[in-house]
Structure 1
């Protein structure tokens, strides 16, 4: 399998519709990036959960998932499950994020995600960050919307285990969900690892990718 390196990264953007979306979809990748690039700037935007216990969960979790990074997190107060009705507010938030950042990489939901909040945010990111590499992360859920990813980030066993442990530690409000457990997180990572000839991995959808095969 061909491996393409991202080169030296100075800053990335990570967005989620809900608190824990970023960590579930790309927590292992964040750990990998931040450990490999000390001082990496991470601009994170979450559309809902602001002012609630979930905001504090998200702040503590992303601080743990981004060790040594310059983390700048914004958590808004949009209503969970109602993004289509709050389109203008969400669009403004994405545009403001774009205006203050020039990232080397964007982590966002997939445009094929079955959850309307995830899917809507993905569409906004694709228009707000037109000239950037956008990796669409996946979130396991009841809807059964997992597809055939086009890009993989291998995870060491230690990183995969760390991701699962941090999700359990920092999001106690989600532990009641029947799918929110170590087996689910490691199980999907193991399957994606099989697909890219490694032990564990996170997988992403890539809509557009420009290659530079020159010197």
Structure 2
């Protein structure tokens, strides 16, 4: 499993969701990992629906818990649930305004092939507005059965996977009656994704575009050759410089 980091700087995160609880369900473990490793991280979050309702209060309390020690800025709009495509201009304006206000190192958003029209529509807006950024598409299990084959994984420490489930149940009481909102569903998916990246638990992401910089390295200094009068130097095989590199799937190292 090849591990790819995001570079030397990871100070700002953008997280977006169509509904209150989307960010926490899809990327809650990743947020806990990031905030644990990087105190003071700035997180700009945007949710398109639920504004002015009890759902907004749930979301604000939940994201504060999922982002301990971070500088969290959350905006919750009032677009009707399930009707984002019909309010395209408002959603587009909100995403573009968010883009103007921040220069994130990583963007957490829904997948562009998510079966839910609100998730899918938001994902399409995000990948356009943040076209020069690393956008990670999180997944949410639902009746549509749209979980695919992710290409990137964020390993989760077992205690953080458990903490994610605990926080979801604590902060979203309005969702506890739903058949998919339970410990088995959340930990089960995390366990499957963990198997896929050789760890116990993980959150998985789709990546629509990724730029590599494989040439940005400092070569090791050559070892000086020492000749002995009566002893031939040992034969050393040089590594194959053209060996293929498999970059998919990859494990993210956002918390390192």
Same fold (TM over 0.5): yes
Q: Report the alpha carbon displacement of residue 106 of structure 1 after superposing the two structures with TM.
A: 0.1
Matched position secondary structure for 1:47: strand
- In structure 1, what is the equivalent of residue 4 of structure 2? 4
CA offsets 1:39-80 (integer angstroms, 9 cap, x no match): 000000000000000000000000000010000000000000
Matched position secondary structure for 1:3: strand
- In structure 1, what is the equivalent of residue 74 of structure 2? 73
Matched position secondary structure for 2:136: strand
Question: Within 1, Cα distance between the matches of 2:180 and 2:130?
Answer: 32
Question: Within 1, Cα distance between the matches of 2:109 and 2:180?
Answer: 21
Question: Within 2, Cα distance between the matches of 1:60 and 1:211?
Answer: 37
* Matched ranges for 1:1-215 at <5 A: 1-6=1-6, 7-213=8-214, 214-215=216-217
* Gap regions ≥5 residues in structure 1: none
Question: Within 1, Cα distance between the matches of 2:12 and 2:180?
Answer: 32
Question: Within 2, Cα distance between the matches of 1:178 and 1:208?
Answer: 34
Q: Report the alpha carbon displacement of residue 8 of structure 1 after superposing the two structures with TM.
A: 2.7
Matched position secondary structure for 2:2: coil
Matched position secondary structure for 2:46: strand
Q: Which runs of 4+ in 1 moved over 2 A?
A: none
* Gap regions ≥5 residues in structure 2: 218-256
Question: Within 1, Cα distance between the matches of 2:195 and 2:172?
Answer: 28
Which structure has more RCO (C-alpha within 8 Å, separation ≥ 6)? Answer: 2
TM-score by length of 1: 0.99
Question: Within 2, Cα distance between the matches of 1:114 and 1:64?
Answer: 28
Aligned length: 215
Matched position secondary structure for 1:153: strand
Q: Report the alpha carbon displacement of residue 212 of structure 1 after superposing the two structures with TM.
A: 1.6
Matched position secondary structure for 1:194: helix
- In structure 1, what is the equivalent of residue 248 of structure 2? none
- RMSD over aligned CA atoms reads 0.5
Which structure has the larger Rg over C-alpha atoms?
2
CA offsets 1:18-56 (integer angstroms, 9 cap, x no match): 000000000000000111111000000000000000000
